[in-house]
């Protein structure tokens, strides 16, 4: 339940983080009005330039898809369209709607069809392209399924599954000491995945001729950085026979220190810049690495020098058994 005024919601804090000050109309501001259209009018008057309107589907769990679509059109969608057209006469352009229950693919198709018909009838081309946002416990599987149903959704509101990470609620890793007072440290284990890579290191991403990332490479901090056009031997840290030469067309330094000795030493990027970086970085990965079913593992290798360093320390620190 949300208890709030129509001008007080999560939008108020968004400008602090440089996130666009957009949002959706609150449910209680619509349903407290009689009829509901008056609530839509009040909300749209206050947020006419930057808000999405939620289209209630009412008791959707008890309705068949066809009945749900009919009721949605007769209630939320119809009211939204009526108000949006009225505001258009006053010089305002509606942003769109949010669907948060029912058959999301079907309702988005129905909504888009309605928008297109009204755009043609009232000679308002922009009306056909109104934004349709969908929410309702959306996760990766839901989005994949919706994509297979030719939905008309422009934006997914992923909330619960984003912040709770239900597919992997725990991060299976811990910090391990790799160096102290300039002396390397290695943790040995019968499980090779738990053996640490000792010493101070630098990380680089090597790109191929097609612009895709080929491999990430760890080197000792004393080694020179890989050079574009020069052959680099990349090795699996623990399997001797797995190795390959890579000739990068671009080399990206991955390790940057933002926090040192209790102080921020590099400017922290804004949320928008961080988001843009993620999107651009994902474009550099091959599609087989990003696919949801049986993705190809992305490879992280070590330099030949670091490989030798690891195994020399391993031998030096491994206890020698005695048989009698």
Which two tokens mark 35? 């009829």
Q: pLDDT band at 18, cuts 50/70/90?
A: low
The yes-or-no verdict on residue 90 having pLDDT over 80 is yes
The yes-or-no verdict on residue 183 having pLDDT over 60 is yes
49 phi/psi in degrees, rounded to 5 = -95, -20
d(CA 76, CA 80): 6
The yes-or-no verdict on residue 46 having pLDDT over 70 is no
Q: pLDDT band at 34, cuts 50/70/90?
A: low
Q: Which pLDDT value is given to residue 252? A: 97
The mean per-residue pLDDT over the stretch 190-200 comes to: 91
Q: Which pLDDT value is given to residue 70? A: 45
CB environment 165-190: b (16+ within 10 A), e (fewer): eeeeeeeeeeeeeeeeeeebebeeee
Task: Tell me the average pLDDT of the chain.
Answer: 82
Q: Is 124 exposed, middle or buried (0-12, 13-18, 19+ CB in 10 A)?
A: middle
Counting every residue written for the chain, the total comes to: 324
Condensed to tens digits (0 to 9), the pLDDT of residues 222-263 reads 999 999 999 999 999 999 999 999 999 999 999 889 999 999
The domain spans of the chain are 10-164, 189-267+296-317
The yes-or-no verdict on residue 66 having pLDDT over 80 is no
The mean per-residue pLDDT over the stretch 272-293 comes to: 94
- DSSP-derived 3-state class of residue 279: helix
CA angle at residue 250 from 247 to 252, to 5 degrees? 115
Q: Which pLDDT value is given to residue 61? A: 37
Q: Is 277 exposed, middle or buried (0-12, 13-18, 19+ CB in 10 A)?
A: exposed
Distance, C-alpha 102 to centroid of its chain: 24
Q: Which pLDDT value is given to residue 65? A: 37
Condensed to tens digits (0 to 9), the pLDDT of residues 120-173 reads 999 999 999 999 999 888 988 899 999 999 999 999 988 888 888 787 778 777
Q: Which pLDDT value is given to residue 181? A: 93
- Domain 10-164 fold is TIM Barrel (3.20.20)
Lowest mean pLDDT among 24-33, 72-81, 262-271: 24-33
Which two tokens mark 214? 């080929």
Q: What is the pTM of this model?
A: 0.69
The yes-or-no verdict on residue 115 having pLDDT over 90 is yes
The yes-or-no verdict on residue 207 having pLDDT over 70 is yes
Distance, C-alpha 122 to centroid of its chain: 38
* Residue found by looking up tokens 């943790």 in the block: 187
Q: pLDDT band at 69, cuts 50/70/90?
A: very low
């Amino acid at each position: 339940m949300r208890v709030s005024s129509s001008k007080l919601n999560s939008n108020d804090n968004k400008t602090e983080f440089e996130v666009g000050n957009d949002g959706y109309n609150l449910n209680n501001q619509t349903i407290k009005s009689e009829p509901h259209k008056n609530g839509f009018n009040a909300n749209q008057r206050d947020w006419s330039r930057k808000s999405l309107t939620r289209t209630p589907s009412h008791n959707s769990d008890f309705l068949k898809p066809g009945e749900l679509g009919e009721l949605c059109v007769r209630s939320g969608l119809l009211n939204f369209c009526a108000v949006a057209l009225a505001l258009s006469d006053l010089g305002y352009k509606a942003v769109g709607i949010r669907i948060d229950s029912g058959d999301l693919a079907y309702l988005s198709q129905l909504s888009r069809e309605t928008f297109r018909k009204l755009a043609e009838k009232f000679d308002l081309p922009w009306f056909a392209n109104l934004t349709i946002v969908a929410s309702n416990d959306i996760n990766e599987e839901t989005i994949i399924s919706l994509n297979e149903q030719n939905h008309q959704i422009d934006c997914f509101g992923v909330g619960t599954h984003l912040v709770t990470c239900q597919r992997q609620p725990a991060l299976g890793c811990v910090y391990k000491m790799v160096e102290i007072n300039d002396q390397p440290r290695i943790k040995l284990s019968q499980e090779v995945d738990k053996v640490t890579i000792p010493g101070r290191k630098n990380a680089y991403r090597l790109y191929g001729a097609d612009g895709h990332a080929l491999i990430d490479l760890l080197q000792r901090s004393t080694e020179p950085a890989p050079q574009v056009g020069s052959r680099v031997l990349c090795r699996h840290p623990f399997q001797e026979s797995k190795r390959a030469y890579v000739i990068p067309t671009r080399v990206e330094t991955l390790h940057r220190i933002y926090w040192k000795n209790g102080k921020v030493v590099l400017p922290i990027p804004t949320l928008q810049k961080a988001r843009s970086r993620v999107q651009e970085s994902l474009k550099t990965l091959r599609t087989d690495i990003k696919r949801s079913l049986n993705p190809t593992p992305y490879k992280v290798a070590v330099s030949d020098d670091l490989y030798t360093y690891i195994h020399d320390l391993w031998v030096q620190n491994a206890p020698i058994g005695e048989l009698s």
